[in-house]
Amino acid sequence: MPQQTATSSPHAATAPALALPPAAARHGGAQWLSNLSPIPFGIYAGLMAFGVYFAMYAFRKPFTVADFGGMTIGGVDYKIVLVIAQVVGYALSKMVGVKIIAELPVHRRVLGILAQIGVAEAALVGFALIPAPWNAPCLLLNGLALGMIWGMVFAFVEGRRQSELIAAILCASFILSSGVVKSVGEWTLLRGTSPFWMPAITGAIFTPMLLICLYGLSILPQPDARDIAERVERKPMDAKARRAVWRRYAAGLSALVVLYVMLTALRDFRDNFSADIWREVGLGQQAEIFAWTELPVSMIVLAALAMLMVVRDNRRALRANFLLVGFGLILSAAASLAFSLHAIGPVVWMILLGAGLYLGYTPFNGILFDRLVASGGTVGNAGFLIYVADAFGYAGTVGLLLLRSALGLHMGWTHVLIMLSLGASVLGLALLAFAWRYFDRAVAG
């Protein structure tokens, strides 16, 4: 596999210019974007990526605010069946995406996103038209359609000097958007919309936003010579290239994947059942609470991720990512402990817990693996590593939901989330310590 030396000097910006590759010349993007200075360019790219992924959540999350009248299927809560069906589809899509996202050429990204959104909305219409409980497979199809959108969006922005700033804005989308689209969904329910039609209607409301921002994303120029000098050229990876990267970092990647499985399961548990948790603590009738509690979470995570852009040395930036994940684990455990001791209220708990989980979770969705690729100096892309982690991560979410149903736990959603966050934080810190030590040696070798 071809190798390229990564720039690890803190003075990487002074590296000699490289000749632009032919791909960059063929896909130059809008000329006015090429003329922007780095920070305005990063903000523009981040906002376009933010808009696309924000709108995608309107096709994925609104159904979770409905309670469907306590319906059950085979003794299992109907809503849990729907969540599992969607997550199974999402996990299968991530597994397929390990290959597709790693090999995806530039010219197929926009069409791929549009096709997935179209299938997802059609599945939501089917969910409304097919009587319950026979409509549950529609949520599986919905999840299957949406699972590769993240990789296609991130492929537009990885491998750039501003990747941390762009990724910070992008990652804020799946924190803030989840609350906003659920608030819109709850708003439509409170005005008499059927819980079965509400998801399709909410998706349709956000379609114009998705189309406008997708166009804005599609005209981005490809990474330039200085981007390539600092972050390594990003190219599609065939099976041989993927195997070589995995063999090179197998032990460290395995530890990170296990950690990511726990973070994904916890994040999804909090996200999918936040409506149930708010009902348990007596705040279930406030539609706006979903958006208002996620706003400070997104601001905290946005600021933390954006600060990593100032670390130019790739190996130091990789360590900074590990520190951020570790702080997130500690914060989530401290928040749950304080809430269980009645030191803080439910709103503060959900904000601090969300901030901790997302500080741990979001680096895995781009910037940690982007810096790992740059530190190792291997020509390839971060999308492959993201989708390896994601494939296992969403399988963990399914496992957690099945375990809760199989054991017939009678504890409320709130108590289960407290216990899980405390246990996962302890194990997660041990895995993180191992991965830190491993990659400190691996990327230096």
Digit-coded pLDDT (tens) for 417-437: 899 899 999 999 999 999 999
Q: Among 26-35, 119-128, 194-203, 364-373, which stretch is predicted with the lowest mean pLDDT? A: 26-35
Q: Give domain status of residue 10, yes or no.
A: no
- The interaxial angle of helices 198-205 and 207-218, nearest 10 deg, is 40
Residue 131's contacts (CB-CB under 8 Å, 6 or more residues apart) are none
Distance CA 212, CA 108 (A): 18
Q: Where are the beta strands (DSSP E) in 149-196?
A: none
**pLDDT band (50, 70, 90) for residue 163:** confident
Distance CA 115, CA 205 (A): 18
**pLDDT band (50, 70, 90) for residue 13:** very low
pTM (2 d.p.):
0.71
Distance CA 421, CA 262 (A): 9
Half-sphere exposure of 179 (CA within 13 A, CB side): 21
Where residue 58 sits, what CATH number does that domain have? 1.20.1250.20
Are 52 and 176 in contact, with CB atoms under 8 Å apart?
no
Are 197 and 3 in contact, with CB atoms under 8 Å apart?
no
Q: Is the peptide bond before 40 cis (omega within 30 degrees of 0)?
A: no
Q: Give domain status of residue 3, yes or no.
A: no
Q: Please, what's the b/e burial string for 114-126 (b: 16 or more CB within 10 A of its CB; e: otherwise)?
A: eebbebbbebbbb
Residue 40, sorted as left (phi over 0), alpha (psi -120 to 50) or beta, turns out to be alpha
Q: Give domain status of residue 103, yes or no.
A: yes
Q: Give domain status of residue 224, yes or no.
A: yes
pLDDT cut 90: percent of the chain above it: 37
Q: Give domain status of residue 179, yes or no.
A: yes
Tally of residues, the chain: 445
The number of distinct structural domains making up the chain is 1
Q: Give domain status of residue 159, yes or no.
A: yes
Instruction: Compare 205 and 224 and report the one with higher pLDDT.
Output: 205
Q: Give domain status of residue 117, yes or no.
A: yes
- The interaxial angle of helices 289-307 and 163-190, nearest 10 deg, is 180
Highest mean pLDDT among 3-7, 180-184, 387-391: 180-184
What is the structure's pLDDT at 137?
A: 96
Residue among 213, 167, 166, 209 at smallest CA distance from 184: 209
Instruction: Give the distance, in angstroms, between the CA of residue 428 and the centroid of all CA atoms in the same chain.
Output: 18
Cα dist from 264 to 133, 155, 187, 394, 400, whole Å: 27, 21, 27, 7, 10
Residue among 163, 164, 168, 162 at smallest CA distance from 302: 168
| Phi then psi dihedrals of residue 72, to 5 deg | -130, 155
Q: Please, what's the b/e burial string for 13-38 (b: 16 or more CB within 10 A of its CB; e: otherwise)?
A: eeeeeeeeeeebeeebeeeebeeeee
**pLDDT band (50, 70, 90) for residue 274:** confident
Has residue 254 got a pLDDT over 90?
A: yes
Q: 403 is in which domain, residue-wise?
A: 36-442
Q: Give domain status of residue 319, yes or no.
A: yes
- The interaxial angle of helices 78-103 and 149-157, nearest 10 deg, is 40
Are 266 and 282 in contact, with CB atoms under 8 Å apart?
no
Helix (H, G, I), strand (E, B) or coil at 353: helix
